[in-house]
Amino acid sequence: MLKFFRKIRQDLLSEGKTKKYLQYAIGEIILVVIGILIALQINNWNENRKDDQMEIEVLREIAENLEEDILSLENDVYLNQGAIKNIHILENALENVETVPDSLKRRFGLVTFSATYTLKWSGYKNLSNIGFHILANDSIRESITNLYETYYSFIKERETSAKKTTYEYVIPRYLEYFEDLKTERNTSGSIPSKLYSPKDFIALKNDPEFLRLLHYSEQIKEDNLYDLGLTLDQIKNTKTLIDTYLERID
């Protein structure tokens, strides 16, 4: 092709048609520029397609992570609600029961429960590695960043704080009231129960420090529920934004 164009230019020069030669040369330059622009446009289009596909894939991964997080944290809500109910039953028993059956010993063993939040970060880490510029929707980008950098970071910090308080303050004082701590084995495959036998159940019923420990443990669980509620709302809002966006562009 280049030889063909070169021959035309040479023929025009040899025939003394300088004006036509210049016109042809300019036209040839214009064609080359147009060709380059078209090539660049095609390249940009291909890159945009790659970015669009990458955006879809990373948003799908984040949406899947969020779905798992919702299930996990809703289970944590259930566990904390159960722990609070357990404390209420114990408080009622301390007022109305004179003996300590194994069922009550199990309930004493549940007071030291401390929540561990399992959250999926793989999609967000993948997005961080690719770059947040890949997200075309500003609302989604802001919602995702806020969720992981604020809510997830906050709830993990609260988990650490609650565990520290439980293990370093509540449990050491709580265990002073019990003896003969046993783990009840079972054949059902469920988690073995801990049996906490009070040293002096009658004295325990009227011990203000013990009642305060129960109340303190309950307050930790109440705080957990509050944090979980805020985080779950943000997760669901973010997932709704992502799902709606993917339905529109995918």
pTM over 0.95: no
Tell me which of 17 and 201 has the higher pLDDT.
201
Residues 6+ apart with CB under 8 A from 17: none
Domain range annotation of the chain: 65-249
Task: Encode pLDDT of 1-21 as tens digits.
Answer: 445 455 555 554 565 555 554
Least confident of 15-29, 31-45, 85-99: 15-29
pLDDT band at 189 (very low <50, low <70, confident <90, very high): very low
Mean pLDDT value of segment 35-54: 61
Looking at residue 232, what is its pLDDT? 98
Q: Where are the alpha helices (DSSP H) in the chain?
A: 2-14, 18-96, 102-110, 122-130, 138-146, 153-165, 171-175, 201-205, 208-249
Quote the pLDDT of residue 2: 46
User: Is-contact 65 121, C-beta < 8 A?
Assistant: yes
Query: What b/e sequence results for 213-234 when a residue is b if at least 16 CB atoms lie within 10 Å of its CB, and e otherwise?
Result: bbeebbebbeebbebbeebbeb
Q: What is the number of other CB atoms lying within 10 angstroms of the CB of residue 166?
A: 19
> Is residue 100 helix, strand or coil?
coil
Q: Are 121 and 148 in contact (CB under 8 A)?
A: yes
Write down the pLDDT at residue 119.
96
- Per-residue confidence (pLDDT) for residue 42, from 0 to 100: 54
Spatial distance between the Cα atoms of 176 and 243, rounded to a whole number of angstroms: 52
Instruction: Please tell me the least confidently modeled range out of 90-99, 125-134, 174-183, 185-194.
Output: 185-194
Q: Say if CB 111 and CB 89 are below 8 A apart.
A: no
Tokens of 61: 């991964």
In this prediction, residue 190 carries a pLDDT of 47
Rg of the chain, C-alpha, whole Å = 34
CA distances from 193 to 23, 103, 104, 149, 231 (A): 94, 10, 11, 37, 30
DSSP letter assigned to residue 137: -
Judged against a pLDDT cut of 80, whether residue 26 lies above it is answered with no
Tens of pLDDT along 158-183?
Answer: 999 999 999 999 999 999 999 867 77
pLDDT average, residue stretch 181-198:
67
What pLDDT score was predicted for residue 241? 97
pLDDT at res. 135: 92
Q: Is the pLDDT of residue 72 over 70?
A: yes
Task: Specify which residues 195 forms β-bridges with.
Answer: 182
Q: Give the chain's length.
A: 250
203 class by beta-carbon count within 10 Å (0-12 exposed, 13-18 middle, 19+ buried)? exposed
Phi, psi of 100 (to 5 degrees): -120, 90
Q: What is the pLDDT of residue 194?
A: 81
